[in-house]
Amino acid sequence: MENNIKTRVVGVDISIERTTCAVIDIRGNIIAESFFSTMDFSDINSYVSTLCEKIMELVMANGGYETIRSVGVSAPSANFVTGCIENAPNLPWKGVIPLAALMRDQLGLAVGVANDAHATALGELAYGSAHGMKDFIVLNIGVGLGSCFFSEGHEHHGAEGFAGEFGHTCVAEGGRMCTCGHEGCIESYVSARGIVQTAQEVLAEIDAPSLMRNQEKLSSRIIAGFCDQGDELAIETFRRTGHILGIGLANYASVINPEAIILAGGISRAGKWLLDPLRESFEKHVFKAMQGKVKIFVSNLENHTRDVLGASAVAWDVKEYSLFK
């Protein structure tokens, strides 16, 4: 290690199903990876112990401890400012978990945590389509609707690290009940669950044949598949979804004036069925001086790769010596 410059980081992606650890170099090459099941650990302390053991095993087998600058974690409901996972509804650990501090104490390395939208944004900036951009929005459309934005080259966290809660902005007063307890949040329309609910409304409203009628359990992925087969009611479902998302994003963009809006997450893979109505509605509603100027596109990083790359970008975003604060 000439000059003691460390050229690798560890990226950790925590999702409900599994935890992925990876050693990643400065160019975004994944040197090595390992996985384990997140849900096996109902106790946070045993989870953190296992996670740190897995990280150390991986690091020792791939270049050694001295090569690692820092650790980045992408997790639901993670707050970069506090280093905590805060009241994550879908993870086994309740309340506020000081994950960065717990890991740092066991690893002796600086650790940063960020929620999935923030990690995705950092990954897009470091290795993806946002490279070189100063002002942009990233949207993660999946189980929930996460977002974050960059302001003049830095990530905007807000006063307490809660910024980017676009999913819980109101698009329909007195509308659908959201998981957060409010009515009319855009997430209750634009998310895996929201799209299925829209499909059910479309099926009830429009008396026409549809592949969706024979389906025992609908999902946004199945509905997108039916769009590809030309199913009109499936297409109508995504048309309504894209229309609402277009209004919401137009409002978001009118306030931020971004260069681009990057879509990631499972739902973004529906492609044109979502994007075409989204763009039409966006252009109709965005502030006039921005019309035709905001690029809207789906992340070009692969889904699996994006999560650990995003986590590795969080690691680079942390001060190496924040350990000694």
Residues of this chain that bind its own copies (CB under 8 A): 86, 134-135, 147, 149, 151-152, 154, 156-166, 168-170, 173, 180-182, 247, 250-252, 254-259, 284-285, 287-290, 293
* Least distance to its own copies, CB of residue 241, Å: 15
Residue among 137 and 309 whose Cβ is closer to its own copies: 137
Selection from 59, 51, 56 nearest residue 23 by Cα: 59
Q: From the CB of 119, what's the least distance to its own copies, in Å?
A: 18
Coarse DSSP helix, strand, coil percentages of the chain, rounded to the nearest 5 percent:
45, 20, 35
Closest alpha carbon to 90 in 17, 36, 160 = 17
Whichever of 64 and 158 has its CB closer to its own copies, that residue is 158
Nearest to 96 by CA among 107, 105, 106, 85: 85
| C-beta of 54 vs 285, nearer to its own copies | 285
Chain-centroid distance, C-alpha 145: 8
- Least separation in angstroms between residue 239's CB and its own copies is 15
Spatial neighbors of 211 by CB under 8 A, at least 6 apart, are: 226, 229, 231, 234
Q: Which is nearer to its own copies, 52 or 185 (CB)?
A: 185
Q: Closest distance between its own copies and the C-beta of residue 82, in Å?
A: 11
Task: Select 237 or 251, whichever has its Cβ closest to its own copies.
Answer: 251
Question: Please, what's the b/e burial string for 277-308 (b: 16 or more CB within 10 A of its CB; e: otherwise)?
Answer: bbbebbbebbeeebeeebebebbebeeeebbb
| CA separation for the pair 157, 150 (Å, rounded) | 9
CB of 23 to its own copies, least distance (A): 31
Cβ 235 to its own copies shortest distance, Å? 21
Residue nearer to its own copies on the CB measure, 204 or 255: 255
